[in-house]
């Protein structure tokens, strides 16, 4: 089939799908108009099969209401004693070193008497 034949066939198919008059190519009558979709309608209500149930009896009066919940006080556990703090022993203070000994100088020799000439 050539391209032209395919195109003409497509035109005929499209024409038949939308035509309201007879097809000029093949003289076929137009397709019947599409029926609008039927909307769903609920079925008619059926008569009840069982008699309606009796109304519920009122609940018996309850005894006194339970006391409101009171949360117990939290248990207090004493804290453990803090660990002992390390105190280093006192460091003995070093006394300053003694000054170096001063060398003793020998006294100057006594002057020697020189008689005059």
pLDDT digits (tens, 9 = 90+) for 16-75: 666 566 666 666 666 666 666 677 777 777 766 777 777 777 766 667 777 888 888 888
C-alpha dist (Å) from residue 76 to 71, 72, 83 = 15, 12, 20
CB 30 within 8 A of CB 21: yes
Domain edges within the chain: 1-32
Q: Residues with Cβ < 8 Å from 12, sequence gap 6 or more?
A: 23, 25, 26
Furthest C-alpha separation in the chain: 185
pLDDT: which is higher, 37 or 85: 85
Q: Specify the pLDDT at position 32.
A: 67
Q: Specify the pLDDT at position 79.
A: 83
7 pLDDT exceeds 80?
yes
């Amino acid at each position: 089939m050539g391209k032209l034949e395919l195109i003409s066939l497509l035109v005929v198919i499209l024409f038949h799908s939308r035509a309201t008059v007879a097809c000029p190519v093949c003289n076929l009558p137009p397709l019947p108009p599409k029926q609008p979709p039927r909307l769903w309608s609920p079925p008619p209500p059926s008569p009840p099969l069982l008699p309606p149930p009796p109304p519920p009896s009122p609940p018996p009066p309850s005894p006194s209401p339970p006391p409101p919940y009171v949360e117990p006080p939290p248990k207090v556990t004493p804290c453990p004693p803090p660990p002992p703090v390390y105190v280093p022993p006192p460091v003995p203070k070093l006394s300053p070193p003694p000054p170096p000994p001063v060398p003793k100088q020998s006294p100057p020799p006594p002057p020697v008497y020189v008689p005059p000439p």
